[in-house]
Structure 1
Amino acid sequence: MKLEEKELFLKKLDELFLKSIKSSMIHESTMHVENGSGDFMWSKGHGGRSIDSIMNLASVTKLFTTTCIINLIQQGKLSLNNKLSRFFDSNILEGIHIYKGKDYSYEITVGNLLFQNSGFPDVFALGRNNLNKRIVNEDLILSLYDYITIAKENKKKFAPGTPLKAHYSDLNFEMLGKIIEQLENTSLHEAFKKYVIKPLKLQNTYLIEKDSDFSAKMYYKHDALYRPNFWKSIPDCGGCISTSKEVMVFIKAFFNGQLFDESIFGQLRKFAMIQYCPLLGQYGGGFVRLNISGIASMYRCKGELIGHMGGSGTYAYYYPEKDLYFVGDVNQFAKQGDIFILPLKLAKLANKCIG
């Protein structure tokens, strides 16, 4: 990056951050940008937050779960083609996936879960008093059986493994987490330590396991919600706690081959559109792709953003076109659109400022 490009980029990042926190609903926020070589770093915080502040990662956690799954595949302990019947008994699988009168319950594979193409419904968004609404009013404690019950009682989206189909469902990753625990014969937190936390020497990244473990507040409009039991009960799909600084270390390691064989991405780069961001948003093997070069993108940048976002307002993306990494948090459960928009704006800035 040339000196004049760097100076312009820094100025525009400052301006973008100031605009992003103008909303009265953004009480706390962080934004953190680094390049792959490590010679460019910029960060800002708002509301007393910094890149060292603890935050709830929500679905960015799925990248940690994905890391464990990939390592188990590399070790030969797991295959994307393994049927779920290898890991779950009939109490869970019986009737879990009936679509157009045909029972697919025993045909679902590990790959269907990882690629979000099992056809399971979005277990958090179903019903008038759905889980997303209940989180606002109570510190929910959820179990795999709660997700299973919701899935069994509601319509499936398509047959498992239907080509070019994806439907985002947290049930997929809750089941992946239980598979990891079986194969590792330990808790998911210990698996995260083994495959992510210890190799990267992270000090402030963990899953909540006991009452004394700290979780950050999450805002819903102007109300600060404390939901430690909720985060504790969803470790596989959204319960990881970390900081922007450590998520940056992780996302760089995830995409540069530090945590598993980089060639594995050849198997994971098979994308299908997901429901929350049609045309622009796609899901692959455990991570999201935002196609920012397509006609559907008003930002018309080159390339793609790959990574994940979380419903509490977190995002962690790699922008290969400019070798930049974007990590941030708007910490607003009622303003989740920002977790799509801000990374796109960051990519657009990079295109304007960097040749």
Structure 2
Amino acid sequence: MRSMKTEKYEKVFNKFTDSKKIHQAILLIESANGNFSFCKGYGGKEIDSPFLMASITKLFTTTCILILQEQGKLSLNDKIIKYIDSNTLSGIHVYRGRDYSLELTISDLLFQTSGLPDAFLEGKDSVSNRIINEDFYFDFSDMITTVKKLKPHFEPGRKGKAYYADINFDILGEIIEKVSGLSLSKAYKKYIITPLGLMNTYLPESENDKIPQVYYRDQVIFRPKLIISSRASGGGISTARELMIFIKAFFGGKLFNKNIFSSLSNYNKLQISMGPICYGGGYMQIPLKGIVSFFMGKGELIGHSGSTGSFAFYYPTKELFFVGDVNQMADASLPIRLSMQLALAAK
């Protein structure tokens, strides 16, 4: 017999998948203690179907940074010039005539407070403009070169300011490799995938690895070169079952000491295009109070979403976790809206 709670979640999910925008979807909800679980798929997606994590990959990058800090191998206060060559960095952040490039810290990157522009969305040669029509490789130096052509939005660490930009996490990925002596894929395996016993979660390194397709509106597109290139900011692949294991571990203290969240939960609102989303130390925060929920919500969602429709959030007020994917990259707000509606249904 289905509970009223289950029926509420099913109603939200069904209403979402009735949209012409959604062709495939998977949702998994679990309580923190494991006493409640609800899973539903649509369009052939199931609990073990692989999907692109996209920017949820940033949580994996955050995890590695926090573990390396715990091991005393780096500090969030370190200037990134300690790990990245000055020739590479110089000129990446010139704001109002002053070059802040060599003053950037790991914390600036993790909290999205560097002020660096986002090459994924900004400029006539933005990645988002190109990926609809073509698949292509790019490497770290390509991203650095592109970012240097764009204007930063504010000086690093400006109080109350945050700007979401993939380059912040691309640089963090390079730092992880430098400090750990491992490729990013192997660092993920060592610090996250192997300890959690994940079998279907990985960072693809070649086109021989299985890379899922994604919808752009009604068109199915396949972009293996882009996914392989996205690495630390958005290249990961997982399933609903394994992403649930990860997000519970991330917030539950199984990967690093969760006391660190007291210093990571300093949130700043992101740029207007990101809607209600704020950013803390390596993860998103979505306040559920106020006008965004018609004053019906309580608490917050913490975790991450991805531009291809993926989501992994913890709702502390009800001790619930929401993970899944709506597989649609034409509207990045979809997974946020679904997660918020699920939280409101949890009353």
TM-score over 0.5 for the pair: yes
Q: Distance in 1 between matches of 2:269 and 2:293?
A: 14
Distance verdict in 2 for CA 1:276–1:327, change over 3 Å: farther
Deviation at 1:92, TM superposition (A): 1.1
Local SS of the residue matching 2:74: coil
1:349 corresponds in structure 2 to 345
Alignment match of 1:196 (pick from 185, 192, 197): 192
Q: Distance in 1 between matches of 2:268 and 2:106?
A: 17
Alignment match of 1:144 (pick from 132, 140, 161): 140
- Counterpart check, 1:35 vs 2:56: no
2:106 corresponds in structure 1 to 110
- Please tell me the residue identity of whatever aligns with 2:266: K
Q: Distance in 1 between matches of 2:180 and 2:334?
A: 37
Alignment match of 1:207 (pick from 197, 200, 203): 203
Deviation at 1:296, TM superposition (A): 4.2
1:331 corresponds in structure 2 to 327
Q: Distance in 1 between matches of 2:187 and 2:154?
A: 32
Q: Distance in 2 between matches of 1:131 and 1:299?
A: 37
- Counterpart check, 1:253 vs 2:243: no
What stretches of structure 2 of length at least 5 have no aligned partner? none
- Please tell me the residue identity of whatever aligns with 2:333: G
C-alpha RMSD over aligned residues: 1.4
1:263 corresponds in structure 2 to 259
1:181 corresponds in structure 2 to 177
CA displacement 1:165-202 (0-9 Å, x = unmatched):
10000000000000000111111111111111011100
- Please tell me the residue identity of whatever aligns with 1:305: L
Alignment match of 1:9 (pick from 5, 8, 23): 5
Contact 2:276 2:292 in 1 (8 A): yes
- Any residues of structure 2 matched to 1:1-355 within 5 Å, and which? 7-275=3-271, 280-298=276-294, 300-351=296-347
Distance verdict in 2 for CA 1:204–1:279, change over 3 Å: closer
Local SS of the residue matching 1:15: helix
- Please tell me the residue identity of whatever aligns with 1:112: D
Local SS of the residue matching 1:82: coil
Contact 1:34 1:325 in 2 (8 A): yes
Q: Distance in 2 between matches of 1:293 and 1:73?
A: 33
Deviation at 1:107, TM superposition (A): 0.4
Contact 1:244 1:327 in 2 (8 A): yes
- Please tell me the residue identity of whatever aligns with 2:169: F
Deviation at 1:301, TM superposition (A): 1.0
Q: Distance in 1 between matches of 2:228 and 2:246?
A: 21
CA displacement 1:132-155 (0-9 Å, x = unmatched):
021111112121122211221111
Q: Distance in 2 between matches of 1:299 and 1:19?
A: 21
Distance verdict in 2 for CA 1:158–1:77, change over 3 Å: same
CA displacement 1:200-231 (0-9 Å, x = unmatched):
10000001112321010010011111111111
What stretches of structure 1 of length at least 5 have no aligned partner? none
Moved more, 12-21 or 291-300: 291-300
Deviation at 1:68, TM superposition (A): 0.2
Contact 1:292 1:301 in 2 (8 A): yes
- Normalised by the length of structure 1, the TM-score is 0.95
Q: Distance in 1 between matches of 2:326 and 2:264?
A: 29
Q: Distance in 1 between matches of 2:111 and 2:237?
A: 24
Q: Distance in 1 between matches of 2:168 and 2:125?
A: 22
Q: Which stretches of structure 1, 4 residues or longer, exceed 3 Å deviation after superposition?
A: 276-279, 294-297
Q: Distance in 1 between matches of 2:290 and 2:136?
A: 39
CA displacement 1:48-93 (0-9 Å, x = unmatched):
1101000010000000000000000111111011111111112211
Moved more, 183-192 or 6-15: 6-15
- Please tell me the residue identity of whatever aligns with 1:146: D
Contact 1:280 1:297 in 2 (8 A): no
Local SS of the residue matching 1:132: helix
Q: Distance in 2 between matches of 1:346 and 1:329?
A: 14
Q: Distance in 2 between matches of 1:279 and 1:298?
A: 15
Deviation at 1:295, TM superposition (A): 4.1
Q: Distance in 2 between matches of 1:277 and 1:318?
A: 23
Q: Distance in 1 between matches of 2:49 and 2:318?
A: 27
Q: Distance in 2 between matches of 1:328 and 1:206?
A: 16
